[in-house]
Amino acid sequence: MMIVVLAMLLGLAGTAMVQSGIYANDQQRYRVGIVGDTDDEMIKLGVQMIQTADDTRYMIELVSYDDEDEAVADLRATKISSYIVITDEFSQALDAMTNDVKLKYYATSGQKGITNIMMDEIASVAGNIIVSSETGICTLRQVMEEEGFSGSQRHEQINKMFVVYLSALLNRSEVAEFVELGLSDGLSTEAYYFVGILLFFILLLSFCAISFFLGQSEATFRFLKSKGVGARMQVLAEYLAFLTINFLCVLIIMVAMILAAHLGLFSIQELGHHQVMGLVNFAISLIPVCMMFAALGFMIFEILIGVINKVLVAFMLYIGMAYVSGYFYPRSFFPEAVQTIGRYIPTGAAFNYATAIFTHQPSGVYMLVCVVYTVVFLGVAMVVRRKKIY
């Protein structure tokens, strides 16, 4: 029954999103920043093409920046997916039809896929310019013919012009140079994957304590109540035991990670020179997240009936929540509406909190969100337990 209700709710939410057009407006448009002068004729043509061509205007949105620092800040804040720097040298080289200066394309490492798209787009722009060059060649031939030049003279001049175009455009084999900044959702690549995967494991750890919910009967709850242990105390006592198991599991994982860091098997840029101490501090900071995830698991297991239901629904829910919160894939890839949901659900709150810890940003608000979620989940569990008793 609970699965059906959950499926209906998710279905309704999805349908509402699609129907409202939010998804269509937002769907997978890569926001690409352009830093520098775009007044150059050739560049203006390329930008215009990207913004108007049917196959790209739904895919790429260009955002202009005067300053590269602004673009980096927006990239860090995941407002854009990548940015291109057009230097004066590049514009001049383009005008001079030389091949010695390249565009610089900066992308986060989580967004390698966009590199291929940009290559295609740039190739497409170059292709269109060649069509224009053919028009130029035809025009040159017609003008020379009208001015009375001989066939061999015309042929020679057209060949020269064609070679110049070819050398300037077709031979420009590497139009852009791609640079990875190693950023994903505000974290370095290592930190991003470390945080995402670690949080997902902590989320899954609630399954380690599922045995608490096997064989529990309502008779037990009633008996406890008759002995003066009400729903609130029952839930708090069980949650404490449930949380202790989760803490132990997290401790085992963190000890393994700290050992690996100590042996130099991996390092995280954000932790600087004190990798081990950084990880120890991070492990301590994870307490609110553990509490929230344990409370979430506790609530789900309290609401659902039957072991298969509990495991299946919890797993499906965890995967979905982790996905939209950016545990496996940078959140910036999702439509704005999904990003917003992913940011505020418990998994998103945990990710924001962990990111703030790693980047030494204020994390108090995110910790408060985790605590509020914990209280809400336990409150719901208490209400459900009370219903089971009566």
Partner 1 sequence: MVEIKGIEKSYGKKQVLKGVNLEIDAGSMVGILGENGSGKSTLLSILAGLQHPDCGFFNIDGKDLMQNQALRNELVAYVPQENPLIAELTAWDNLRMWYPLDKLKEELSEGFLAMLGIDAFLKVPVNQMSGGMKKRLTIGCAINSDPKILLLDEPTAALDLVCKERIYTYFDQFKAQGGTLILATHEVQEIELCDQCYILKNGVVDSYRYDGDIPHLIGRL
CB nearer to partner 1: give 222 or 274: 222
CB nearer to partner 1: give 121 or 238: 238
CB nearer to partner 1: give 3 or 210: 210
Residue 106's nearest CA partner among 187, 177, 18, 23 is 177
- Which amino acid is it at 97? M
Q: How far is the CB of 16 from partner 1 (least distance, A)?
A: 34
Q: How far is the CB of 245 from partner 1 (least distance, A)?
A: 14
Q: How far apart are CA 357 and CA 181, in angstroms?
A: 21
Q: How far is the CB of 386 from partner 1 (least distance, A)?
A: 11
Q: How far apart are CA 192 and CA 309, in angstroms?
A: 32
CB nearer to partner 1: give 230 or 335: 230
CB nearer to partner 1: give 224 or 376: 224
CB nearer to partner 1: give 172 or 385: 385
CB nearer to partner 1: give 27 or 220: 220
Residue 83's nearest CA partner among 66, 98, 99 is 66
CB nearer to partner 1: give 207 or 323: 207
Radius of gyration for the alpha carbons in the chain, expressed in angstroms and rounded: 29
Residue 375's nearest CA partner among 300, 298, 295 is 295
Q: How far apart are CA 63 and CA 104, in angstroms?
A: 16
Q: How far is the CB of 230 from partner 1 (least distance, A)?
A: 9
Q: Residue numbers of the site for partner 1 (CB under 8 A)?
A: 211, 215, 217-220, 222-228, 389-390
The pair of structure tokens assigned to 290 is: 């553990």
Q: Tell me the longest C-alpha to C-alpha distance in the chain.
A: 113
Q: How far is the CB of 232 from partner 1 (least distance, A)?
A: 13
CB nearer to partner 1: give 25 or 211: 211
Residue spans of alpha helices (H) in the chain? 2-20, 22-26, 41-52, 54-57, 68-76, 88-95, 113-146, 151-165, 189-204, 218-226, 231-262, 275-285, 287-303, 307-324, 336-344, 346-358, 364-389
Q: What DSSP state is assigned to residue 334?
A: S
Q: How far is the CB of 27 from partner 1 (least distance, A)?
A: 48
Q: How far is the CB of 214 from partner 1 (least distance, A)?
A: 8
Side-chain half-sphere CA neighbours of 164 within 13 A: 14
Residue 389's nearest CA partner among 235, 219, 216, 215 is 219
What's the Cα-to-Cα distance from 268 to each of 2, 192, 248, 275, 277, rounded to whole Å?
41, 9, 24, 7, 12
Contact 326, 19 (CB under 8 A): no
CB nearer to partner 1: give 76 or 386: 386
Q: How far is the CB of 226 from partner 1 (least distance, A)?
A: 4
> Other CB atoms closer than 10 Å to residue 159's CB: what's the count?
11
Residues 6 or more apart in contact with residue 155 via CB below 8 angstroms? none
Q: How far is the CB of 221 from partner 1 (least distance, A)?
A: 8
Q: How far is the CB of 224 from partner 1 (least distance, A)?
A: 8
